[in-house]
C-alpha cells in the first residue's frame, strides 16, 4: 500500500476516528481536546485532530477532519507501518 504521510484529511468526525482507534488497538484512548496518545513497545504516536469546514459537492455535504500522526523521535518507520495498517482498517468497500 502506498504511504500517504503523517498528515491527512479524512472524511469523518472525531467520534468516528476515536472508534476506529479503539477497534484497531483494543484500548479506548479517547480524544481529548483534539489529541490522543497511543503507546507501543516502539514508542508513542500522538494523534492530533482539527475539524475542517464541510466539503460540499453539489447537494452532498461531507464532514472533514485534519488528522496528524506525530511519532516519537526515531520511531518514524514503525509509525509508518502502523499508519498503513490504520489506513487499511479505515477503508470501507469501494472498488
Nearest to 60 by CA among 11, 14, 93, 24: 11
Residue 44 and residue 42: Cα distance in Å, rounded? 7
19-67 tens-digit pLDDT: 999 988 888 767 778 889 999 999 999 999 999 999 999 999 999 999 9
Could you give the percent of the chain with pLDDT greater than 90?
A: 54
Residue 46 and residue 75: Cα distance in Å, rounded? 12
Whether 17 contacts 49, CB under 8 Å:
yes
- Look up the pTM and report it: 0.84
Domain boundaries, the chain: 7-75
**CATH no. for 7-75:** 3.30.1370
Looking only at the bridges linking them, the beta strands covering 35-40 and 43-57 are: antiparallel
Largest CA distance in the chain: 46
Amino acid at each position: 500500500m502506498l504511504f500517504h504521510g503523517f498528515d491527512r484529511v479524512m472524511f469523518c468526525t472525531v467520534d468516528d476516528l476515536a472508534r476506529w482507534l479503539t477497534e484497531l488497538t483494543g484500548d479506548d484512548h479517547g480524544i481529548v481536546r483534539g489529541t490522543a496518545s497511543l503507546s507501543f513497545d516502539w514508542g508513542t504516536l500522538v494523534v492530533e485532530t482539527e475539524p475542517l469546514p464541510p466539503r460540499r459537492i453539489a447537494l452532498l455535504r461531507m464532514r472533514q477532519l485534519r488528522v496528524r500522526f506525530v511519532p516519537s523521535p526515531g520511531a518514524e518507520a514503525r509509525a509508518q507501518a502502523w499508519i498503513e495498517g490504520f489506513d487499511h482498517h479505515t477503508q470501507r468497500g469501494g472498488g
